[in-house]
Chain A
Amino acid sequence: MAVAAPADLAAVLQTGDWAFVLGNWRVLLLGAVVTVVLMATSLTLGFLAGFPAGAVEAYGSGWTKELVSTAGVVLRGTPIVVLIVLFFFGIPVPKLGSVPVVDVRLSAFLAATLALGLRSGAYQSQVFRGAIQSIDEGQLEAARSVGLTHRQAVRHVIFPQAVRRSVPGFQNEFTIVLKDTSVAFAIGLAELLTRAENLYLQPGRDTAIMEVIIVISAVYFVLTFATNRTLDYLGDAFSIPEGSE
């Protein structure tokens, strides 16, 4: 990794470099696609793992609960980069080859998805557990009082409300996972940041580092922005009218 030669800012931001970045828009676009797909698969995995984990932490007992909460502590207490490299080197993934157009090694993609997804699941489970526990005891009692079993009461009364209360927490997860996809750089997954580096590591292109990073930062920013706005919109659309109970 080369360090830019000392130069004043004006010289660093050369017009030729901007043209270089824009000329490579396809590369960066593919990177953005990989980033978004990685975010989507990770969040899906995170939800599939986190939702039941949260339920187990709220209602479970014995060794299942113990196991789930320990796994949660480990996943939340370890840096994401360590998790990514561990899943990459530590899990015997069969040789998976790569996807031609986007030039992504599947083993790297899988490792990143597992690491980002399971860690997100560990956080989502906390969100969901907290939401379950924040629901008033009376809701369960009322449901039981019309004769619903505990299971039915949890399923029809507690979960629907808990999921809605989890929305802000899940929304956080979207942006956190989106930003952390960049850490897959550590295993050379061809997402946005890795491609950016590939661009300026081309011979004679180290003058374009600033420009490349500014452009991809803008892309990340726009993605974060768009994600949040979409989720805000969805959150409003599916919210219970002014709930205060």
Chain B
Amino acid sequence: MSLLEIEDVDKSYGDEEVLHDVSLAMDQRDVDVIVGPSGSGKSTLLRCVNRLTEVDDGAIYLDGEEIHGMDENDLRRRVGMVFQDFNLFAHRSALGNVTLGLTEVLELSETEAKSRAEEFLGRVGLADQADSYPSQLSGGQKQRVGIARALAMDPDLLLFDEPTSALDPELIGEVLAVMEDLAEGGMTMLCVTHEMGFARSAASTITFLDGGRIVERGPPEQLFETPEKERTRTFLGQLTDLNR
């Protein structure tokens, strides 16, 4: 059984149809990369998975369970999210960002939460920045805190919404390295990203979304080397040029 199954999902904002009949399935340990032009509905799709947005039609299953019927807080505990602009809690240190969910949602004691948070900050290479506030961190460091925050909840699935696109070029590498580590470690990840290097090396599947529809979906070699659609070739071609 797939870990995540998205079935014929539709979503509109007013008259604008943002997602149309989107279906995909991911197994455990899969790394699915979603690409597509701006406005194609990538963020919307991710937000449907943790119900920051509700779908209009269709269904999404996590581990076989329809997410619409689940308690949304429980769902979100199981599905972590990493944001494009980090969204770190500005009033809490790096450590405090990670511990909040642990104490309030998992109801760990302060000391347990602290040691667990330290462990995860260590994993993203920020053990020495635990007491820094978001504004004292670089973009790359912020994003790594964001990843640690999501990771510490021990999620079944991690969502990444363009995690590197707000970063200066020289800081992108450190975040991608953490993500590659996670992929190797067997984390199931659904990533919106235009980092084609990461897609080639880490993705098990690439999904090309355009105008709210899945144009093409398949393993990286197939989409990069022998895409079925001309549209896919041009779009990926542009991205690869950009990344060079």
Residues in chain A within 8 A of chain B (CB atoms) = 136, 138-139, 141-149, 152, 156-157, 160-161, 164, 240-245
Contacts and interface: CB of A to CB of B under 8 A. Distances in A.
B76 A144 contact: yes
A148 B100 contact: yes
Which of B74, B86, B134 has the most CB atoms of chain A within a 10 A radius of its CB? B134
Given A146-B76, A241-B133, A139 B52 contact: no
B46 to A, nearest CB: 10
B191 interface: no
A245 B100 contact: no
A160 B100 CA distance: 13
A241 B104 contact: no
A143 B80 CA distance: 11
Given A144-B76, A147-B73, A147-B76, A156 B100 contact: yes
B12 interface: no
A143 B89 CA distance: 8
A1 B91 CA distance: 55
Interface string B92-131: 0000000011001100000000000000000000000000
A145 to B, nearest CB: 4
B77 interface: yes
A17 B50 CA distance: 76
B234 to A, nearest CB: 33
Contacts of A149: 73
Contacts of B89: 139, 142-143, 157, 161
Contacts of B80: 145-146
B83 A141 contact: yes
A148 B101 contact: yes
Given A146-B101, A146-B150, A147-B77, A136 B52 contact: no
28 contacts: A138-B83, A139-B87, A139-B90, A141-B52, A141-B83, A142-B81, A142-B83, A142-B87, A142-B88, A145-B80, A145-B150, A146-B76, A146-B100, A146-B149, A146-B153, A147-B73, A147-B101, A152-B104, A161-B89, A161-B91, A164-B91, A240-B90, A242-B133, A243-B90, A243-B91, A243-B133, A244-B135, A245-B90
A238 B230 CA distance: 58
Given A244-B135, A245-B134, 8 more contacts: A136-B87, A142-B149, A144-B52, A146-B100, A146-B105, A148-B104, A156-B100, A161-B90
Contacts of B76: 144-147
Contacts of B222: none
A182 B81 CA distance: 55
Most buried by A among B91, B100, B135: B91
Interface in B25-83: 50, 52, 73-74, 76-77, 80-81, 83
B interface, size bucket: 20 to 34
Contacts of A136: 87
A241 B135 CA distance: 7
B136 interface: yes
B85 interface: yes
B12 to A, nearest CB: 21
Contacts of A143: 89, 100
Contacts of B90: 139, 161, 240, 243, 245
Nearest to A138: B87
B95 to A, nearest CB: 14
Contacts of A164: 91
B87 A141 contact: yes
Nearest to B146: A142
Contacts of B74: 147
A160 B91 CA distance: 7
Contacts of B135: 240-245
Contact of B153 (A147, A157, A161): A147
A74 to B, nearest CB: 34
Nearest to A136: B87
A149 to B, nearest CB: 5
A116 to B, nearest CB: 31
9 A-B pairs with the lowest CB-CB distances in the bound complex, closest first: A146-B101, A147-B77, A142-B87, A138-B87, A245-B90, A145-B81, A147-B105, A147-B76, A241-B133
A143 B153 CA distance: 12
